[in-house]
Structure 1
Amino acid sequence: MIKNVPNKMTDRDLLAFIERVVSRRIDFFYLRMDFQNGCNVGYAFVNFITIDDLLAFARARLGVKWNMYSSEKILQMSYATYQGKEALVEKFKNSGIMDEREAWRPKIFFSAGPDTGLPEPFPAPTHQRRKERSVHNRGALFVPGRA
Protein backbone atom coordinates (compact mmCIF):
# COMPACT_ATOMS: atom_id res chain seq x y z
CA MET A 1 0.00 0.00 0.00
CA ILE A 2 1.07 3.54 -0.68
CA LYS A 3 -0.05 5.70 2.23
CA ASN A 4 -0.41 9.41 3.04
CA VAL A 5 -1.53 10.17 -0.51
CA PRO A 6 -2.62 13.84 -0.79
CA ASN A 7 -6.43 13.77 -0.76
CA LYS A 8 -6.83 15.89 -3.89
CA MET A 9 -4.70 13.51 -5.97
CA THR A 10 -6.60 11.59 -8.66
CA ASP A 11 -5.94 8.10 -9.94
CA ARG A 12 -4.27 9.56 -13.06
CA ASP A 13 -2.04 11.80 -10.92
CA LEU A 14 -0.89 8.90 -8.76
CA LEU A 15 -0.33 6.59 -11.71
CA ALA A 16 1.80 9.28 -13.38
CA PHE A 17 3.71 9.79 -10.11
CA ILE A 18 4.52 6.05 -9.97
CA GLU A 19 5.35 5.93 -13.70
CA ARG A 20 8.02 8.61 -13.30
CA VAL A 21 10.01 6.13 -11.18
CA VAL A 22 9.05 2.68 -12.50
CA SER A 23 7.42 2.97 -15.91
CA ARG A 24 4.94 0.17 -16.75
CA ARG A 25 6.02 -1.89 -13.72
CA ILE A 26 2.74 -2.25 -11.81
CA ASP A 27 -0.04 -4.74 -12.53
CA PHE A 28 -2.71 -3.67 -10.00
CA PHE A 29 -3.79 -0.21 -8.84
CA TYR A 30 -6.66 1.03 -6.68
CA LEU A 31 -6.80 4.49 -5.13
CA ARG A 32 -9.52 4.30 -2.47
CA MET A 33 -12.04 7.14 -2.81
CA ASP A 34 -14.51 8.85 -0.50
CA PHE A 35 -17.71 8.74 -2.55
CA GLN A 36 -19.25 11.65 -0.63
CA ASN A 37 -16.64 14.29 -1.46
CA GLY A 38 -14.88 12.75 -4.47
CA CYS A 39 -11.44 12.90 -2.84
CA ASN A 40 -9.21 9.93 -2.13
CA VAL A 41 -8.93 8.69 1.46
CA GLY A 42 -5.14 8.75 1.58
CA TYR A 43 -4.04 5.29 0.48
CA ALA A 44 -3.78 3.11 -2.60
CA PHE A 45 -3.30 -0.57 -3.24
CA VAL A 46 -0.43 -0.94 -5.71
CA ASN A 47 1.11 -4.23 -6.82
CA PHE A 48 4.54 -3.91 -8.37
CA ILE A 49 5.40 -6.60 -10.92
CA THR A 50 8.69 -7.57 -9.27
CA ILE A 51 10.41 -7.01 -5.95
CA ASP A 52 13.05 -4.96 -7.79
CA ASP A 53 10.29 -2.64 -9.07
CA LEU A 54 8.94 -2.21 -5.54
CA LEU A 55 12.42 -1.53 -4.17
CA ALA A 56 13.22 1.00 -6.92
CA PHE A 57 10.03 2.91 -6.12
CA ALA A 58 10.61 2.71 -2.36
CA ARG A 59 14.19 3.94 -2.67
CA ALA A 60 13.06 6.92 -4.73
CA ARG A 61 9.89 7.93 -2.88
CA LEU A 62 9.57 6.35 0.58
CA GLY A 63 9.80 8.96 3.34
CA VAL A 64 9.79 11.85 0.87
CA LYS A 65 7.32 14.76 1.00
CA TRP A 66 4.84 14.68 -1.89
CA ASN A 67 5.43 18.38 -2.76
CA MET A 68 2.06 18.79 -4.44
CA TYR A 69 -1.37 20.16 -3.60
CA SER A 70 0.16 22.15 -0.73
CA SER A 71 0.42 18.86 1.17
CA GLU A 72 2.86 18.34 3.99
CA LYS A 73 2.30 14.58 3.86
CA ILE A 74 5.23 12.20 3.56
CA LEU A 75 4.86 9.09 1.41
CA GLN A 76 4.74 5.89 3.45
CA MET A 77 4.30 2.28 2.38
CA SER A 78 3.09 -0.87 4.09
CA TYR A 79 2.03 -4.38 3.28
CA ALA A 80 -1.69 -4.90 2.70
CA THR A 81 -3.71 -7.87 3.88
CA TYR A 82 -4.10 -9.03 0.29
CA GLN A 83 -0.87 -9.63 -1.62
CA GLY A 84 -0.36 -10.12 -5.36
CA LYS A 85 -2.37 -9.28 -8.44
CA GLU A 86 -4.46 -12.47 -8.37
CA ALA A 87 -5.54 -12.01 -4.73
CA LEU A 88 -6.37 -8.33 -5.28
CA VAL A 89 -8.38 -9.05 -8.44
CA GLU A 90 -10.28 -11.80 -6.60
CA LYS A 91 -11.05 -9.41 -3.74
CA PHE A 92 -12.35 -6.59 -5.92
CA LYS A 93 -14.00 -8.27 -8.93
CA ASN A 94 -17.10 -9.11 -6.86
CA SER A 95 -17.22 -5.71 -5.20
CA GLY A 96 -19.79 -3.00 -5.76
CA ILE A 97 -16.85 -0.64 -6.40
CA MET A 98 -16.78 -2.05 -9.93
CA ASP A 99 -20.08 -0.22 -10.58
CA GLU A 100 -18.64 3.16 -9.57
CA ARG A 101 -17.07 5.75 -11.87
CA GLU A 102 -14.29 4.37 -14.04
CA ALA A 103 -11.70 6.58 -12.34
CA TRP A 104 -12.68 5.19 -8.92
CA ARG A 105 -12.42 1.51 -9.86
CA PRO A 106 -9.44 -0.78 -9.38
CA LYS A 107 -7.31 -1.14 -12.49
CA ILE A 108 -5.15 -4.00 -13.71
CA PHE A 109 -2.28 -4.05 -16.16
CA PHE A 110 -0.58 -6.85 -18.05
CA SER A 111 2.17 -8.45 -15.96
CA ALA A 112 4.29 -9.91 -18.77
CA GLY A 113 4.86 -9.95 -22.52
CA PRO A 114 4.91 -7.08 -25.01
CA ASP A 115 1.94 -5.39 -23.31
CA THR A 116 3.54 -5.36 -19.85
CA GLY A 117 2.22 -2.41 -17.87
CA LEU A 118 -0.55 -1.58 -20.32
CA PRO A 119 -4.22 -1.66 -19.23
CA GLU A 120 -5.84 -5.08 -19.07
CA PRO A 121 -9.61 -5.68 -18.92
CA PHE A 122 -10.83 -6.38 -15.38
CA PRO A 123 -12.47 -9.81 -15.05
CA ALA A 124 -16.23 -9.99 -14.70
CA PRO A 125 -17.75 -10.81 -11.30
CA THR A 126 -18.12 -14.50 -10.50
CA HIS A 127 -20.33 -14.28 -7.38
CA GLN A 128 -23.36 -12.11 -8.06
CA ARG A 129 -24.70 -12.48 -4.50
CA ARG A 130 -21.38 -11.37 -3.03
CA LYS A 131 -21.44 -8.33 -5.31
CA GLU A 132 -25.03 -7.53 -4.29
CA ARG A 133 -24.03 -7.80 -0.63
CA SER A 134 -21.11 -5.46 -1.27
CA VAL A 135 -23.39 -2.89 -2.87
CA HIS A 136 -25.90 -3.22 -0.01
CA ASN A 137 -23.18 -2.75 2.64
CA ARG A 138 -21.52 0.20 0.89
CA GLY A 139 -22.90 2.76 3.34
CA ALA A 140 -21.69 0.68 6.30
CA LEU A 141 -18.04 0.87 5.27
CA PHE A 142 -15.69 2.93 7.37
CA VAL A 143 -15.21 6.40 5.94
CA PRO A 144 -12.20 8.25 7.36
CA GLY A 145 -13.08 11.40 9.26
CA ARG A 146 -16.42 10.11 10.50
CA ALA A 147 -16.99 9.04 14.07
Structure 2
Amino acid sequence: MCVNLPKQLNPHADEWRPSPPLPPPLPPLPHALFSYAPPPYYVVYLQNHTISHQQRHTPKKPLKNRLPPRLLKAKAKTPPPPPPPPPPPPPKLKWRPKNAPPLPTLKASPVAASSSNTTLMIKNIPNQLRREFMLKFLDGYCKTHSVAYDFFYLPFDFRKLGNLGYAFVNFTNAEAVVKMKKVLSGFKWREYYTEDGEFVCSHKVCEIKWARVQGKEALIRRFEKSTFVCNDMEFLPVVLEPPRDGSDRNPAAPVNVGRICRGCY
Protein backbone atom coordinates (compact mmCIF):
# COMPACT_ATOMS: atom_id res chain seq x y z
CA MET A 1 0.00 0.00 0.00
CA CYS A 2 1.42 3.38 -0.94
CA VAL A 3 0.99 6.58 1.20
CA ASN A 4 1.56 9.99 -0.18
CA LEU A 5 3.56 12.07 2.35
CA PRO A 6 3.83 15.87 2.17
CA LYS A 7 7.59 15.63 2.80
CA GLN A 8 10.11 13.05 1.97
CA LEU A 9 11.55 11.00 4.83
CA ASN A 10 15.11 11.60 5.99
CA PRO A 11 17.17 8.67 4.90
CA HIS A 12 19.79 9.44 7.59
CA ALA A 13 17.37 9.51 10.58
CA ASP A 14 17.67 7.00 13.47
CA GLU A 15 15.63 3.93 13.45
CA TRP A 16 12.34 4.25 15.36
CA ARG A 17 11.92 2.08 18.44
CA PRO A 18 9.04 1.91 20.87
CA SER A 19 9.61 3.62 24.34
CA PRO A 20 9.96 1.34 27.39
CA PRO A 21 6.98 0.98 29.76
CA LEU A 22 6.60 3.44 32.73
CA PRO A 23 7.46 2.16 36.27
CA PRO A 24 4.63 1.57 38.69
CA PRO A 25 3.71 4.59 40.90
CA LEU A 26 5.37 4.87 44.35
CA PRO A 27 3.24 4.17 47.41
CA PRO A 28 2.06 7.30 49.31
CA LEU A 29 3.84 8.49 52.48
CA PRO A 30 2.62 7.12 55.83
CA HIS A 31 1.40 10.55 57.03
CA ALA A 32 -1.04 10.63 54.11
CA LEU A 33 -2.86 7.62 55.51
CA PHE A 34 -4.90 9.85 57.84
CA SER A 35 -6.19 12.26 55.24
CA TYR A 36 -9.81 13.26 55.38
CA ALA A 37 -11.01 11.18 52.40
CA PRO A 38 -8.47 8.41 51.60
CA PRO A 39 -8.71 6.87 48.13
CA PRO A 40 -9.37 3.17 47.84
CA TYR A 41 -5.78 2.23 47.22
CA TYR A 42 -4.82 3.34 50.81
CA VAL A 43 -6.73 0.38 52.15
CA VAL A 44 -4.63 -1.91 50.02
CA TYR A 45 -1.50 -0.19 51.32
CA LEU A 46 -2.51 -0.77 54.95
CA GLN A 47 -3.14 -4.43 54.21
CA ASN A 48 0.23 -4.93 52.52
CA HIS A 49 2.42 -2.76 54.78
CA THR A 50 2.95 -2.71 58.56
CA ILE A 51 4.21 0.20 60.66
CA SER A 52 7.66 -0.37 62.13
CA HIS A 53 8.34 -0.37 65.90
CA GLN A 54 10.10 3.01 65.69
CA GLN A 55 7.00 4.59 64.14
CA ARG A 56 4.67 3.45 66.92
CA HIS A 57 3.90 5.79 69.79
CA THR A 58 4.94 4.24 73.06
CA PRO A 59 3.70 6.21 76.09
CA LYS A 60 6.14 6.83 78.92
CA LYS A 61 5.82 4.66 81.95
CA PRO A 62 4.77 6.38 85.15
CA LEU A 63 7.41 7.12 87.77
CA LYS A 64 6.14 4.51 90.24
CA ASN A 65 6.82 1.71 87.74
CA ARG A 66 10.42 2.83 87.35
CA LEU A 67 11.26 2.13 90.99
CA PRO A 68 13.26 -1.00 91.68
CA PRO A 69 11.31 -4.01 92.97
CA ARG A 70 12.77 -3.81 96.51
CA LEU A 71 11.51 -0.25 96.89
CA LEU A 72 8.11 -1.16 95.50
CA LYS A 73 7.79 -3.97 98.04
CA ALA A 74 8.87 -1.71 100.92
CA LYS A 75 6.41 0.94 99.82
CA ALA A 76 3.61 -1.60 99.60
CA LYS A 77 4.33 -2.88 103.14
CA THR A 78 4.36 0.61 104.74
CA PRO A 79 0.84 1.38 106.03
CA PRO A 80 -0.56 4.80 105.20
CA PRO A 81 -0.60 7.40 108.02
CA PRO A 82 -3.82 7.55 110.00
CA PRO A 83 -6.14 10.45 109.18
CA PRO A 84 -6.11 13.43 111.58
CA PRO A 85 -8.79 13.39 114.27
CA PRO A 86 -11.86 15.49 113.51
CA PRO A 87 -12.14 18.86 115.30
CA PRO A 88 -14.28 18.92 118.44
CA PRO A 89 -17.85 20.08 117.91
CA PRO A 90 -18.67 23.65 119.01
CA PRO A 91 -20.37 24.01 122.39
CA LYS A 92 -24.11 23.97 122.28
CA LEU A 93 -25.91 27.14 123.26
CA LYS A 94 -28.31 26.70 126.14
CA TRP A 95 -31.51 28.64 126.33
CA ARG A 96 -31.86 30.72 129.46
CA PRO A 97 -35.21 32.25 130.49
CA LYS A 98 -35.54 36.00 130.74
CA ASN A 99 -36.06 36.03 134.50
CA ALA A 100 -33.18 33.67 135.26
CA PRO A 101 -30.78 34.60 138.08
CA PRO A 102 -27.84 36.76 136.95
CA LEU A 103 -24.58 35.16 136.03
CA PRO A 104 -21.86 35.13 138.70
CA THR A 105 -19.70 38.26 138.61
CA LEU A 106 -15.94 38.47 138.88
CA LYS A 107 -14.42 38.69 142.32
CA ALA A 108 -13.61 42.16 143.52
CA SER A 109 -10.01 43.26 143.69
CA PRO A 110 -8.16 42.96 147.02
CA VAL A 111 -8.24 46.75 147.43
CA ALA A 112 -12.01 46.94 146.99
CA ALA A 113 -12.78 43.87 149.12
CA SER A 114 -10.71 44.87 152.13
CA SER A 115 -12.63 46.22 155.14
CA SER A 116 -9.67 48.40 156.24
CA ASN A 117 -9.72 50.75 153.24
CA THR A 118 -10.16 54.40 154.15
CA THR A 119 -8.99 56.34 151.05
CA LEU A 120 -11.22 57.27 148.11
CA MET A 121 -10.44 58.70 144.69
CA ILE A 122 -13.04 61.24 143.51
CA LYS A 123 -13.10 61.53 139.70
CA ASN A 124 -14.78 63.94 137.25
CA ILE A 125 -14.17 67.09 139.28
CA PRO A 126 -14.58 70.39 137.33
CA ASN A 127 -11.15 71.77 136.47
CA GLN A 128 -11.88 75.30 137.77
CA LEU A 129 -12.23 74.20 141.41
CA ARG A 130 -9.49 74.84 143.97
CA ARG A 131 -8.51 73.10 147.19
CA GLU A 132 -10.40 75.43 149.53
CA PHE A 133 -13.66 74.96 147.63
CA MET A 134 -13.30 71.15 147.79
CA LEU A 135 -12.59 71.24 151.54
CA LYS A 136 -15.77 73.21 152.16
CA PHE A 137 -17.67 70.88 149.84
CA LEU A 138 -16.53 67.85 151.88
CA ASP A 139 -17.22 69.62 155.18
CA GLY A 140 -20.89 69.98 154.27
CA TYR A 141 -21.35 66.29 153.52
CA CYS A 142 -19.28 65.18 156.53
CA LYS A 143 -21.42 67.30 158.86
CA THR A 144 -24.63 65.85 157.40
CA HIS A 145 -23.50 62.21 157.69
CA SER A 146 -21.33 62.54 160.88
CA VAL A 147 -18.02 61.48 159.33
CA ALA A 148 -14.53 63.03 159.33
CA TYR A 149 -11.49 63.09 157.02
CA ASP A 150 -7.81 63.80 157.75
CA PHE A 151 -6.02 63.94 154.35
CA PHE A 152 -6.82 65.63 151.04
CA TYR A 153 -4.93 66.10 147.78
CA LEU A 154 -6.21 67.75 144.58
CA PRO A 155 -3.53 67.39 141.84
CA PHE A 156 -3.03 70.51 139.70
CA ASP A 157 -1.70 71.49 136.30
CA PHE A 158 0.72 74.23 137.41
CA ARG A 159 0.89 75.92 134.00
CA LYS A 160 -2.85 76.08 133.28
CA LEU A 161 -3.68 76.57 136.99
CA GLY A 162 -6.49 74.04 136.89
CA ASN A 163 -6.97 70.74 138.68
CA LEU A 164 -6.57 67.44 136.82
CA GLY A 165 -10.14 66.32 137.48
CA TYR A 166 -9.60 63.98 140.44
CA ALA A 167 -8.75 64.11 144.16
CA PHE A 168 -7.74 61.79 147.01
CA VAL A 169 -9.54 61.85 150.40
CA ASN A 170 -8.74 59.74 153.45
CA PHE A 171 -11.46 59.24 156.07
CA THR A 172 -10.93 58.35 159.70
CA ASN A 173 -12.49 54.86 159.63
CA ALA A 174 -13.85 52.23 157.25
CA GLU A 175 -17.50 52.90 158.10
CA ALA A 176 -17.14 56.57 157.15
CA VAL A 177 -15.49 55.79 153.84
CA VAL A 178 -18.22 53.29 152.87
CA LYS A 179 -20.91 55.82 153.73
CA MET A 180 -19.26 58.64 151.74
CA LYS A 181 -18.62 56.34 148.80
CA LYS A 182 -22.36 55.78 148.47
CA VAL A 183 -23.21 59.46 149.02
CA LEU A 184 -20.74 60.96 146.51
CA SER A 185 -21.16 58.34 143.81
CA GLY A 186 -23.20 59.83 140.95
CA PHE A 187 -23.15 63.40 142.31
CA LYS A 188 -23.94 65.97 139.55
CA TRP A 189 -22.07 69.28 139.84
CA ARG A 190 -24.39 71.39 137.60
CA GLU A 191 -24.17 75.13 138.57
CA TYR A 192 -21.99 76.64 141.34
CA TYR A 193 -19.83 79.64 142.23
CA THR A 194 -16.08 79.42 142.85
CA GLU A 195 -14.19 81.22 145.65
CA ASP A 196 -13.49 84.12 143.28
CA GLY A 197 -17.21 84.53 142.54
CA GLU A 198 -16.96 82.96 139.11
CA PHE A 199 -20.10 81.17 137.95
CA VAL A 200 -19.39 77.73 136.48
CA CYS A 201 -21.81 75.28 134.85
CA SER A 202 -20.60 71.70 134.53
CA HIS A 203 -22.33 68.52 133.37
CA LYS A 204 -19.79 66.19 135.00
CA VAL A 205 -20.93 63.37 137.29
CA CYS A 206 -18.78 62.17 140.18
CA GLU A 207 -17.27 58.69 139.98
CA ILE A 208 -15.85 57.16 143.17
CA LYS A 209 -13.03 54.59 143.14
CA TRP A 210 -10.78 53.02 145.73
CA ALA A 211 -7.36 54.68 145.80
CA ARG A 212 -4.26 52.65 145.07
CA VAL A 213 -2.47 54.00 148.19
CA GLN A 214 -4.57 53.39 151.30
CA GLY A 215 -4.31 55.03 154.72
CA LYS A 216 -3.12 58.36 156.08
CA GLU A 217 0.38 57.19 156.99
CA ALA A 218 0.95 55.62 153.57
CA LEU A 219 -0.19 58.81 151.84
CA ILE A 220 2.17 60.95 153.92
CA ARG A 221 5.11 58.65 153.06
CA ARG A 222 4.11 58.85 149.40
CA PHE A 223 4.18 62.68 149.19
CA GLU A 224 6.49 63.94 151.96
CA LYS A 225 9.60 63.75 149.74
CA SER A 226 7.87 64.94 146.56
CA THR A 227 8.80 68.24 144.88
CA PHE A 228 6.03 70.30 143.25
CA VAL A 229 6.99 72.74 140.50
CA CYS A 230 4.74 75.66 141.52
CA ASN A 231 4.82 78.94 143.42
CA ASP A 232 1.83 78.46 145.76
CA MET A 233 1.42 76.12 148.73
CA GLU A 234 -2.26 75.74 147.80
CA PHE A 235 -1.37 73.05 145.25
CA LEU A 236 0.24 70.65 147.77
CA PRO A 237 -1.36 67.71 149.64
CA VAL A 238 -2.52 68.54 153.15
CA VAL A 239 -2.95 66.74 156.45
CA LEU A 240 -5.88 67.87 158.59
CA GLU A 241 -5.16 67.90 162.34
CA PRO A 242 -7.58 67.46 163.98
CA PRO A 243 -9.73 65.68 161.36
CA ARG A 244 -12.39 67.89 159.79
CA ASP A 245 -16.04 66.92 160.16
CA GLY A 246 -17.71 70.19 159.18
CA SER A 247 -18.86 71.10 162.69
CA ASP A 248 -16.16 73.73 163.34
CA ARG A 249 -16.72 77.04 161.57
CA ASN A 250 -13.05 78.00 161.99
CA PRO A 251 -11.12 74.76 161.44
CA ALA A 252 -7.36 74.55 161.97
CA ALA A 253 -5.14 75.42 159.03
CA PRO A 254 -4.13 72.37 156.97
CA VAL A 255 -0.52 71.14 157.13
CA ASN A 256 1.16 70.91 153.73
CA VAL A 257 3.01 67.74 152.73
CA GLY A 258 5.99 67.97 150.34
CA ARG A 259 7.91 71.01 149.13
CA ILE A 260 7.69 73.44 146.25
CA CYS A 261 10.39 74.39 143.77
CA ARG A 262 9.89 78.05 142.86
CA GLY A 263 12.74 78.36 140.37
CA CYS A 264 12.04 75.12 138.46
CA TYR A 265 9.20 76.30 136.27
Same fold flag (TM > 0.5): yes
Unaligned runs of 5+ in 1: 126-130, 140-147
Match of 2:255 in 1: 121
- Equivalent position SS for 2:202: coil
Match of 1:16 in 2: 136
> 1:98 Cα deviation (Å)?
8.4
Which residue, out of 122, 134, 138, partners 1:2?
Answer: 122
Structure 2 residue identity aligned to 1:89:
I
Match of 2:174 in 1: 51
- Taking the aligned partners of 2:208 and 2:138, their CA distance within structure 1 comes to 13
Q: How many pairs were matched up? A: 125
- Taking the aligned partners of 2:170 and 2:229, their CA distance within structure 1 comes to 18
- Taking the aligned partners of 2:171 and 2:253, their CA distance within structure 1 comes to 14
- Taking the aligned partners of 2:254 and 2:129, their CA distance within structure 1 comes to 23
Unaligned runs of 5+ in 2: 1-120, 192-199, 245-251
- Equivalent position SS for 1:7: coil
Structure 1 residue identity aligned to 2:126:
P
Change (3 A) 1:87 1:100: farther
Instruction: Report the identity percentage.
Output: 31
Structure 2 residue identity aligned to 1:63:
G
Tell me the TM-score normalised to structure 2 length: 0.42
Change (3 A) 1:105 1:49: same
- Taking the aligned partners of 1:104 and 1:80, their CA distance within structure 2 comes to 19
**Is structure 2 residue 86 aligned with structure 1 residue 86?**
no
Change (3 A) 1:80 1:98: farther
Structure 2 residue identity aligned to 1:29:
F
Change (3 A) 1:67 1:107: same
- Equivalent position SS for 1:56: helix
Match of 1:142 in 2: none
Which residue, out of 36, 45, 49, partners 2:159?
Answer: 36
- Taking the aligned partners of 1:88 and 1:72, their CA distance within structure 2 comes to 30
Counterpart contact for 1:2–1:76, Cα < 8 Å: yes
Change (3 A) 1:36 1:9: same
Structure 2 residue identity aligned to 1:12:
E
Match of 2:49 in 1: none
Change (3 A) 1:80 1:60: closer
Structure 2 residue identity aligned to 1:109:
L
Q: Which moved more, 1:61-70 or 1:86-95?
A: 61-70
Match of 1:74 in 2: 205
Tell me the TM-score normalised to structure 1 length: 0.73
> 1:56 Cα deviation (Å)?
2.9
Tell me the C-alpha RMSD between the 2 structures.
Answer: 2.6
Stretches of 4+ moved more than 4 A in 1? none
> 1:48 Cα deviation (Å)?
1.0
